[in-house]
Chain A
Amino acid sequence: MAQEETTGSIFTDIDDGGSGEEINRWQRTARLWRETLSEHWGLLTDELSVKLSMLMVAFFMVVAVIAPYITENPPLQRQYESDAEIIILKWAEPSLLGADSGYLLGTTAEGFDIFSQLVYGTRAALLVGLIAAVFTAGIGTMVGLVAGYYGGKIDDALMRIVDFLYGMPMLPTVIILVALLGPSLWNIIFALIILQWRSTARVIRSQALSLRERPFVKAAEVAGAGDWHIISRHLAPNVLPMSFLYGSFAIAWAILTEAGVSFIGLGDPNTVSWGTMLQASRAYSALQFGAWWWFVPPGICIGLLVISGFLIGRGYEEITNPKLQ
């Protein structure tokens, strides 16, 4: 067909001359990502509350990793010396308060080392928080992007699922699911993820819907970009801050819910979490006996971690949404 150029193209000599130097795409992409991240990091850590929250989360992470080095007693090992038949007091007072027991926070009514439980409980909390957050943000973002980009029937179908999930109250549903699936940490995480992606999906969808109509997406279409290209290069980077935001809130919610579920006795009996500690302390009426060192420390830890999660989320929200400033 009449395809040959009538006028010389400014690119002719480039194509004739073979390939000149190319900018390495991956190096460049990596560098740009680094720059963006460090810029966001800078903005985020600008605020004192966020900085402190970050330190708090980092501290808990370190504790979780080096737990075996902090305490020598496994958290679920009864501290009786059965061989020597010297049964120590089940309710060892904390040595922190001057008692001569050798247990920093004493032992539980079952004879478990409370300090050790507290330290190992960090693992459960972070595990639940991080895994739930990653999947919540991940699934929510994917579903939201697909629904928002394609619209129409796909959108309708996906959003009806989300509406259905919205009809289910968080804690009771998780309780029922865990009761059905059996009490284990993984089932709690699973139930959390199933219920939590709904809010992320809804927000990301509405963002994708409006992004989709933006001229730069039209421009990509004119350039011949396919659906996947547009979703991954144009929509995803623009909703990413929002998914991070929802992810960080999800950490806090997941930890709270896990504690709640464990507290009513549906926690994993083979793992220690702060929630199961609270549950045990209630079961043995620690409050009546005045053994506050059993239930106050896990409560404080839950509070600290959850508040940190929310503060980080808030801080990030202010970056992504300048209107809040």
Chain B
Amino acid sequence: MSKTDDDVILHVDDLKKHFKVDEGWIASLLQSVTGDDPDYVHAVDGVSFDLKRGETLGLAGESGCGKTTTGMSLVKLHEPTDGDIHYNNKRLSEASDEEIKEFRQNAQMIFQDPFESLNPRMTVYDIVAEPLRVHDIRNETARVQRALEFAELMPAEHYFDQYPHELSGGQRQRVAIARALVLDPDFIVADEPVSMLDVSLRAGVLSLLDRMTEEFGLSVVYISHDLSLLRHMCDRLAIMYMGKIVEKGPTDQIIENPQHPYTQALINAVPVPDPDVGRERVELQGEVGDVIDVPTGCRFKDRCPKYIGDVCDQVVPPLEAKSDTGADQDIACHLFESAEGYDPYAELDGGRAENATAANDGSESAPADD
């Protein structure tokens, strides 16, 4: 199970996070009487990936797909319901207090809304110095100053006594970045780092994030719905749908040669700069499915334009390498042949499954080529 690859800083293993639906105390009383199970939102439902040192990974998907919950679990803002996160080959669920403290020092997060992620009653200096105080690190002033200067807030002293409301959105996000960097972390989760900012300020903050990744040798997980942003920032992409990763691989591969029907639809939604790049148009119909009563089989089946019958309806497609795509990414879809010899039709019940295998092998194996 546990990988011993030194290059991997974070190994996420079948991470699940379910939230209990709060229906009020009457409902929970009734449940305790009738013995019904309470409802759970399956926000993250079995996500696995590796984050290598110095690598940038993008988590993409529509809102509600669980990408933010995944990001928050990565920095231990949520206890996982199931599965585990390995940091430097250590399981976080079994880590000692000492190791958790070390993890906290090395895992930071940049939040979406810089108007909310800074305490309105603290000055810039106190905000940036807080992590240092929590971890008892010396040379507070010099470090704070250095971090602010790195975030291009200069002269740093000028900002020391300012309160967040005195700063612009871009400056606030820079303060948040300085705060994340001041502990000299190993990896950072950036949750929609520029989506709340004015379009004119985005480029500046993005180039700062780029510089940060490079100079600190950081591993960064970018969370965004914006594929064009992720395309520029990330080495690898993982596309999430309803709490699961549906496609994962090198950014270029996924953007230029998407295989999973959902990824294709997502990428189609992004305006293409070059209209000559012909793509098969796939329109997404319907709503994101129900994350409380999770459907059987493939979670994308209700909206999938390439639905191939019972196997989609019954068998959960695993995320795996595929042998017949000619692509380098992992895909969770029955359209493709597993590279590891997994046969989803074997899981369908009875002889009907055998027939379906035969029928589908002939007609449906070829993916839509671009």
Residues of A with Cβ closer than 8 Å to B? 1-3, 5-7, 9-11, 14-15, 19-23, 28, 32, 36, 214-216, 218-226, 229, 233-234, 237-238
Contacts and interface: CB of A to CB of B under 8 A. Distances in A.
Interface stretch (B115-123, B235-243, B261-269): B115-123
Closest 4 CB pairs of A and B: A7-B217, A224-B104, A223-B131, A215-B117
B109 A10 contact: no
Contacts of B152: none
Contacts of A6: 53-54, 217
Interface string B117-136: 11111110100001100110
Contact of B108 (A1, A21, A222, A225): A222
B146 interface: yes
Nearest to A19: B139
Contact of A220 (B101, B130, B160, B217): B130
B307 interface: no
Interface residues of B, number: 49
B104 A20 contact: no
A221 B77 contact: yes
Given A21-B141, A219-B109, A223-B179, 8 more contacts: A11-B184, A23-B141, A216-B117, A216-B118, A218-B111, A222-B104, A226-B134, A233-B122
Contacts of B89: 1
Given A2-B6, A14-B139, A20-B141, A223 B130 contact: yes
B151 to A, nearest CB: 11
A35 B89 CA distance: 48
Nearest to A229: B134
Contacts of A229: 134
B88 interface: yes
B174 interface: no
A130 to B, nearest CB: 26
Interface string B132-168: 0011001111110011001000000000110000000
A32 B183 contact: no
Given A15-B138, A15-B139, A19-B138, A218 B77 contact: yes
Contacts of B116: 214-216
A224 B141 CA distance: 19
Contacts of B143: 11, 14
Contact of A222 (B75, B112, B160): B75
B84 to A, nearest CB: 18
A71 to B, nearest CB: 46
27 contacts: A2-B6, A2-B88, A6-B217, A7-B217, A11-B143, A14-B146, A21-B141, A22-B141, A23-B125, A23-B141, A32-B123, A32-B161, A215-B116, A216-B116, A216-B119, A219-B117, A219-B118, A220-B119, A222-B75, A223-B131, A223-B134, A223-B179, A224-B105, A224-B135, A229-B134, A233-B122, A237-B122
B184 A223 contact: no
Given A14-B139, A22-B140, A223 B183 contact: yes
B134 A20 contact: no
B113 interface: yes
Contact of B179 (A5, A219, A233): A219
A263 B356 CA distance: 91
B316 to A, nearest CB: 32
Contacts of A15: 138-139
B216 interface: yes
A7 B216 contact: yes
A225 B112 CA distance: 20
A214 B77 CA distance: 13
B204 to A, nearest CB: 19
A14 B139 CA distance: 7
A219 B122 CA distance: 13
B340 interface: no
B107 A11 contact: no
Contacts of A224: 101, 104-105, 131, 134-135
B215 interface: yes
Contacts of B88: 1-3
Nearest to B111: A215
B216 to A, nearest CB: 6
A237 B112 CA distance: 23
B142 A225 contact: no
Contacts of B130: 220, 223, 225, 233
Nearest to A211: B119
A19 B137 CA distance: 11
B141 A5 contact: no
Contact of B121 (A11, A19, A238): A238
A39 to B, nearest CB: 11
A55 B121 CA distance: 29
A251 B124 CA distance: 36
Contact of A11 (B72, B134, B146): B146
A222 B120 contact: no
Contacts of A233: 119, 122, 130
A177 to B, nearest CB: 31
A279 B89 CA distance: 78
B108 A223 contact: yes
A59 B109 CA distance: 53
B220 to A, nearest CB: 13
